[in-house]
Amino acid sequence: MSYEVEKLRQDFPLLRQTMRGKPLVYLDSAATSQKPRPVLDTLQAYYERWNANVHRGIYEISDLATQHYEAARATVARFIHAAEPAEIVFTRNATEAINLVARAWGDANVKAGDVILLTEMEHHSNLVPWQLLAQRTGARLEFIPLDGQGRLDLAAAEKFFNDRLKLVAVTQMSNVLGTINPVASIIRHAHAVSALVLVDGAQGCAHIATDVQRMDCDFLAFSGHKMCGPTGIGVLYGRKWLLEAMPPFLGGGEMISVVDWRESTWNHTPWKFEAGTPAIAQAIGLGAAVEYLEKIGLDAIHAHEDALVRYAWEQLHDLPGFHPYGPPPDERGGLVAFTLDDLHAHDIAQFLDQQGVAIRAGHHCAMPLHKKLGVAATARASFYLYNTTAEVDALVAALRKALKFFGIETKTVVTV
Amino acid sequence: MSYEVEKLRQDFPLLRQTMRGKPLVYLDSAATSQKPRPVLDTLQAYYERWNANVHRGIYEISDLATQHYEAARATVARFIHAAEPAEIVFTRNATEAINLVARAWGDANVKAGDVILLTEMEHHSNLVPWQLLAQRTGARLEFIPLDGQGRLDLAAAEKFFNDRLKLVAVTQMSNVLGTINPVASIIRHAHAVSALVLVDGAQGCAHIATDVQRMDCDFLAFSGHKMCGPTGIGVLYGRKWLLEAMPPFLGGGEMISVVDWRESTWNHTPWKFEAGTPAIAQAIGLGAAVEYLEKIGLDAIHAHEDALVRYAWEQLHDLPGFHPYGPPPDERGGLVAFTLDDLHAHDIAQFLDQQGVAIRAGHHCAMPLHKKLGVAATARASFYLYNTTAEVDALVAALRKALKFFGIETKTVVTV
Amino acid sequence: MSEFDDLYQAIILDHYRKPRNRGTVPDASVRVDGKNPLCGDEVHLELRLDENGRIEDIKSSGHGCSISQASISIMTELVKGRTFDEGKQVCESVRTMMRGGEVDEEAMGELIALKGVSKFPVRIKCAMLSWTTFELAMAEFKAGRDGAGAMVSTEDEK
Amino acid sequence: MSEFDDLYQAIILDHYRKPRNRGTVPDASVRVDGKNPLCGDEVHLELRLDENGRIEDIKSSGHGCSISQASISIMTELVKGRTFDEGKQVCESVRTMMRGGEVDEEAMGELIALKGVSKFPVRIKCAMLSWTTFELAMAEFKAGRDGAGAMVSTEDEK
Ligand SMILES: Cc1ncc(COP(=O)(O)O)c(C=O)c1O
Ligand SMILES: Cc1ncc(COP(=O)(O)O)c(C=O)c1O
Ligand code: FES
Ligand code: FES
């Protein structure tokens, strides 16, 4: 089956919008993706037909809500090849999933002097929770450095793999450099010294077929909103025995077994970690998003994005003063962060907005990385299953106009 | 304007459903409410027209998403009469809001020997987080006892109001007894000994006009899904200075000001407490729900529910073996938990399901309270703005049939 | 017949209204407790075994819904006079039936009346409460203990 | 004219391309830093005051977007020769303008070119970066300090 991007685009109502009166070119899916019709229809169906609280209701719609909710868990488990649905905890987003591990696993297992190993390319969401853990426990943070091309320099990190190492937290794919990391090999390394590995899949899982058992990670965190799902839903995958051994994170309804006045016992995993009424509609919506992605096929999506990023890479390099960050297309996912001469990223994004082209500018929640790169802000175009080469052309044309407008090329103002 | 319940019902698509082939009589709004058309339309509009990540986007749809998101915050602030929108933190649900306070405020302010005062009617979500805090800090939990009618016996709790007391956490309205608590007077008492008060508004805010400034509470937690809003969104209200003084809860994107490798500084309240991509669509949906409730008027809603619960109280008392829990209608909100002879609550609920009547059976996440009441499980019917006296009649008729069916009255089986 | 009628078959209602073998066994060999934390219901079982390991007497007390009470009542009738291992076989058949699997209907006797429960996921634990408690009694007895302090929860049912 | 053209008026682009008063003031009375953490941009201001408290010289360095750079450039031209208190009045007018309020357009000079920024909430802090830093310089100077180590953030703008 050939990849019919124009047909897929029909599924996404927002892509038919205009922006500033121009056809919308949405190139910010790394921030959040757009949502296809089947996901929106599922949300609608939930609220119109099955809406009830889950797990303890004896009546039909509550039973339906529960069944759909737990079916979504099973769907997500299948998507990342978890051994069983009980390994899937629903959270608000990847950020909460990582914090859950830092609090529940971290506070119980990390001591002063232990090392948590991160990388220099981590998103704040996979950095700040560990800073807070380090402050609570006296553990030390270390960082796998980058080489000149924005890849992890594993040789330089060799020294951290010893018995002080408790956890490696590493992103599957960088949201700035685009680098796809060799997580499986990092995991082998870490396991050799009995350290656990948390993979931040916020950028990875939406774009790359992910198999937690083959990868052999201990934890995986990702967000529904970046993979065609609703906002307000994220996932923590954890090995069953690890989750069972962890103390709870939030206390409240649903996560308990027996509650007495001054102490309680806990429900089984995953419910132990889902205190209070969960994001029911959103979990079910995420299940629909997974099914949508599976129908197209993660490999087909990845191939499509790969073609787009190669094309973009080529076209963008024609621009005077174009400077990309991160490795060449062979080693990257579907995004490009760049600077353009000494045009400021925010001016670029503002100008592109006027052209109907939505890209992101800033530190992309990776301030330390930008410090390392020696630039305060970059512009970033990111692609997903619904983007086209025509949109890449629109991006490049708009950037050309921006160069003109701000007078970099000609020092004269053009009208837009 | 008179209260036109039949017209309001038109707004709720789910209420037109059938259950087990019978017209649905939904009497479980205390677990979760149904959603009106304007809320569903808002969710749709968000995903089809404004969906983008908030706060840092320079392009039009991101700006729209941000504006709608922050407008929802302002709407919620107005709804509970907060002094400013910065006092509104979006969470997943009331449970997370309470845990946020227990972790962020509690860990920083509560020491061994300090007292946290709860009541004997608290929901697990306003009990277990404090148990966990007590375990972490060595603080002591005490409980305001109940009188014989399921009201707080404040006289008996007088002894706890001394300088050991750090926090009182009390529900605005019990989800089992229906009791509406005198929170304002408890707050005056607590403030007199410099203790703070957290009000669990999960049941209250949806039904009773709530004014945090008049009530003078320090924290208020509630859930969107119980007040016509989407699942996956809740609210923590906190006094601005308290929130500003608290350390963060979850770390990650959006909640920071400056991030370095090993330490960071925090964004202002409320963003300091909203790590990662928030539940954007759900917050905006909650804003629409608040506007919907405001249009009808909380006082009108309360009056409607009050009439319903009085009617139900009368009708239900005609049933042989009917035993309600909690105070008479004068002092209760729109729900009734009861037992019926020695029919088991789960059998009652199962039978009612067959009749199209959705009620809840069990401990309603209040096991210690049920222990105190001397019953493992109760049946609970709860009302909201869309329920009718005809539905109360359907409930009573179904209960009569249940008594017959299980042979309590006649010891012969009837067909259903 | 509707799923509801399947759930509340006449046999169930009969056992619920007239539970068999309620009470205590004064010279019991093993006494155990089981609970269903979802609803807070509990059962207490007392069993006396003869020298061949046969269940001479079994009595139950506690509280619960009609499904759990009927299940307990039928169970006590069924296992009386059998060994633990024979009882365990019946227990596995009930578990299979709850998961919607095929069982030898002949061999199940009145237990087949519980089949309809499998359509109601939240009620399965009601039906299993008696049996998980029975399994606890068996484990305690085989370990040479009298069950004192032993308690099982239906939440441990997978 | 579109909102976009309002934002990037010719005056803004002109100041951006040819920023005035860049550099350092060797014998500065006060030197301060300001930053916009949203984007990581920073400005460094150096000012020399005469004995009457009049700004004799002002120079800027640092990096930022066209809006911030133009705002800084215009500001340095505007406050030179004035006192801090006169500068502070201008600053308040800019703040009012950013919030969409009415200002005396005559009195604003080239600053009026920043008016379009008020339509772009995320860019307001770009325009204010220069002014919050100016306010810091004023506070430091009035407190008798030379600004060493002083830093202000646009996030402290309400
Ligand atoms: C009194 C009370 N508090 C707290 C909660 C918890 O609400 P949520 O599950 O939405 O977090 C509930 C909901 O059942 C409740 O009734
Ligand atoms: C690499 C990476 N990690 C974590 C996150 C945080 O995701 P969320 O904001 O959905 O929690 C992001 C999102 O920007 C990301 O790109
Ligand atoms: S409801 Fe408790 S055992 Fe059935
Ligand atoms: S984008 Fe940094 S100051 Fe404007």
Going residue by residue through chain C, which has 158 residues, state the pLDDT in tens, using 9 for 90 and above. Answer: 588 888 898 999 999 999 999 999 999 999 999 999 888 899 999 999 998 889 999 999 999 999 999 999 999 999 999 999 999 999 999 999 999 999 988 888 899 999 999 988 889 999 999 999 999 999 999 999 999 989 999 988 76
Is the pLDDT score of B413 beyond 50? no
The predicted structure's pLDDT at residue B412: 39
Is the pLDDT score of A409 beyond 50? no
Touching partners of B (3+ C-beta pairs < 8 Å): A, C, D
Best of B342, B344, B414 to mutate (most C CBs within 10 Å, chain C): B344
Confidence band (pLDDT; 50, 70, 90) for A284? Answer: very high
Q: Which residue has the tokens 């939406």?
A: A206
Q: What is the pLDDT of residues A339-382, one digit of tens each?
A: 999 899 999 999 999 999 999 999 999 999 999 999 999 999 99
For residue D119, the chain B residue with the least C-alpha distance is: B63
Is the pLDDT score of A131 beyond 80? yes
Q: Nearest ligand, CA of residue D124?
A: 4
Q: What integer best gives the mean pLDDT of chain B? A: 96
Q: If you average pLDDT over residues B376-387, what whole number do you get?
A: 97
The predicted structure's pLDDT at residue A296: 98
Instruction: From the CA of B346, give the closest atom in ligand 3.
Output: 1
For residue A406, the chain D residue with the least C-alpha distance is: D13
The predicted structure's pLDDT at residue B121: 98
Distance from CA of B269 to the nearest CA of D (A): 11
Q: Kind and range of the H or E element at B363?
A: none
Q: If you average pLDDT over residues A283-303, what whole number do you get?
A: 98
Is the pLDDT score of D87 beyond 80? yes
B123 Cα: distance to centroid of ligand 1 (angstroms): 7
Residue among A213, A357, A281, A273 nearest A89 (CA): A273
Q: Whose CA is nearest to atom 12 of ligand 2?
A: A202
Confidence band (pLDDT; 50, 70, 90) for D105? Answer: confident
Domain limits of chain C?
3-152
Residues of C in contact with B353 (CB under 8 A): 4
Residue among A259, A266, A202, A212 nearest A235 (CA): A202
Cα gap A180→A199, rounded to integer Å = 12
Contact flag A264-B131 (C-beta cutoff 8 Å): yes
Q: Whose CA is nearest to atom 15 of ligand 1?
A: B202
From the CB of A125, is ligand 2 less than 6 Å away?
Answer: yes
Percent of chain A with pLDDT over 70: 98
Confidence band (pLDDT; 50, 70, 90) for D157? Answer: confident
353-372 in A: which are within 8 Å (CB) of D? 353-354, 361-363, 367, 370
Contact flag A258-C37 (C-beta cutoff 8 Å): yes
Residues of B with catalytic function: 365
- The reply to whether omega before B230 is within 30° of 0 (cis) is no
Distance from CA of B349 to the nearest CA of C (A): 11
Q: Kind and range of the H or E element at B341?
A: none
Give burial (CB, 10 Å; 0-12/13-18/19+) of B159.
exposed
Cα gap B31→B379, rounded to integer Å = 13
Residue ranges lining ligand 1, Cβ < 6 Å: A 253, 276-277; B 93-95, 123, 125-126, 171, 175, 200, 202-203, 223, 365
Domains detected in chain A: 5-30+297-405 (3.90.1150.10), 39-295 (3.40.640.10)
18-47 in B: which are within 8 Å (CB) of A? 19-20, 24, 26, 28, 31-32, 34-35, 40, 43-44, 47
B124 Cα: distance to centroid of ligand 1 (angstroms): 8
Cα gap B149→A127, rounded to integer Å = 52
Among B339, B342, B343, B346, residue to substitute to test ligand 3 (most atoms within 8 Å of Cβ): B346
DSSP C74-97: HHHHHHTTSBHHHHHHHHHHHHHH
The predicted structure's pLDDT at residue D18: 93
From the CB of C129, is ligand 3 less than 6 Å away?
Answer: yes
Is the pLDDT score of A416 beyond 60? no
Contact flag C65-B407 (C-beta cutoff 8 Å): no
Cα gap A393→C104, rounded to integer Å = 69
What is this structure's pTM? 0.95
From A205, A217, A228, A365, the catalytic residue: A365
Q: Kind and range of the H or E element at A171?
A: strand A165-171
DSSP reduced 3-state for D153: strand
Is the pLDDT score of B415 beyond 70? no
Confidence band (pLDDT; 50, 70, 90) for A90? Answer: very high
Residues of C in contact with B370 (CB under 8 A): 40
Instruction: Report CA-CA distances (Å) from B161 to A308, B195, B242.
Output: 67, 8, 21
The predicted structure's pLDDT at residue B1: 55
Residue B380 in contact with residue B359, Cβ under 8 Å?
yes
Residue A27 in contact with residue A391, Cβ under 8 Å?
yes
Touching partners of A (3+ C-beta pairs < 8 Å): B, C, D
Q: What secondary structure letter does DSSP report for C29?
A: S
From the CB of A68, is ligand 2 less than 6 Å away?
Answer: no
Confidence band (pLDDT; 50, 70, 90) for B416? Answer: very low
Q: Do chains C and D touch (3 or more CB pairs under 8 A)?
A: no
Q: What integer best gives the mean pLDDT of chain A? A: 96
What topology is assigned to C3-152 in CATH? Sufe protein. Chain: A (3.90.1010)
Q: What is the pLDDT of residues B128-155, one digit of tens each?
A: 999 999 999 999 999 999 999 999 999 9
Question: What six digits make up the tokens of C117?
Answer: 């429960």
Query: How many other C-beta atoms lie within 10 A of the C-beta of residue B320?
Result: 10
Q: Tell me the β-bridge partners of B28.
A: B382
ipTM, interface predicted TM-score of the complex: 0.94
Q: Nearest ligand, CA of residue A364?
A: 2
Q: What is the pLDDT of residues B109-134, one digit of tens each?
A: 999 999 999 999 999 999 999 999 99
DSSP A198-263: EEE-TTTTTTS---HHHHT-SEEEEEGGGTT--SS-EEEEE-HHHHHHSPPSS-STTSEEEE-SS-
For residue C158, the chain A residue with the least C-alpha distance is: A268
